[in-house]
Structure 1
Amino acid sequence: MFGWMVWTTPVAVFFVCVVLMLIGMTIWELRSPTRLRKGWLPIATTRGDRLFIGLMCAAWINLAWVGLGEAMMNWFSLPEEPSVWISFVVSMAVLALVMRKG
């Protein structure tokens, strides 16, 4: 069923983190319903909205990193493509920033 997907450790960790965030957000929402608030995003958002926006940003960061990996090898004269763990850390930091300040 999932044979088409390249299940590397970083991919598995990313999806496990997403599932844990969804479970955590569900529990948080049940215990403390959210309200609209205005942060630096151009719209008023709830926690769920910010999670969705943050996950989309994280996905695009990871896709861009993988897509530009070979180019970064040439630009920076690296012996191999940069680790996807770097994009994972950056994407989770962006997600945390959107959740906190967005």
Structure 2
Amino acid sequence: MERLEQLVRSMYWTVPTATFFAAIALMLVAMTVWQLVSPTVERKGFLPMPTTRGDRLFIGLLGAAWIHLAWIAATPEDMPLWGGSIMALVWFLVVMRFG
């Protein structure tokens, strides 16, 4: 337990960082509740394999991370990250709905 406390203290916690981790935690809790209330069924969307809601959540989050990294690499330093965040949100919603 002491090691976990040391790890948490060593992180640079800002409001955006804490918000990000809280949002991921809330998503996982919501997906768990949704799974318990209405079990998922694999379906085939535009992704090249049948997926469940959890698969699409993971793929959406992973794609959003890559979109942010590409945005940071492809834009000037003074350009805000909002454009990449909007693209990542659209990607995430499309994957969750149609993936």
Give TM-score scaled by structure 2 length: 0.77
Name the amino acid aligned to 2:79.
Answer: P
Q: Sort the Cα spacing of 1:85 and 1:54 in 2 relative to 1 into closer, same or farther, 3 A.
A: same
> Hey, what does 1:54 align to over in structure 2?
60
Residue 48 of structure 1: how far off its partner (Å): 0.5
More deviation in 45-54 or 57-66?
A: 57-66
Percent identity between the two aligned chains: 49
Q: CA deviation digits over 1:57-99, x for unaligned, max 9?
A: 011111222233xxx22xxxxxx62212322222122111100
> Hey, what does 2:19 align to over in structure 1?
13
Residue 18 of structure 1: how far off its partner (Å): 1.8
**Unpaired runs of 5+ in structure 2?**
1-6
> Relative contact order (C-alpha < 8 Å, sep 6+): which is higher?
1
> Hey, what does 2:33 align to over in structure 1?
27
**Within 1, Cα distance between the matches of 2:20 and 2:72?**
14
Residue 9 of structure 1: how far off its partner (Å): 4.5
**Unpaired runs of 5+ in structure 1?**
74-79
> Hey, what does 2:82 align to over in structure 1?
85
Residue 4 of structure 1: how far off its partner (Å): 5.3
Q: Does the 8 Å CA contact 1:36/1:45 hold for their aligned counterparts?
A: yes
Q: CA deviation digits over 1:20-53, x for unaligned, max 9?
A: 2111111100100000101011100000110111
**Within 1, Cα distance between the matches of 2:54 and 2:68?**
21
**Within 1, Cα distance between the matches of 2:46 and 2:90?**
16
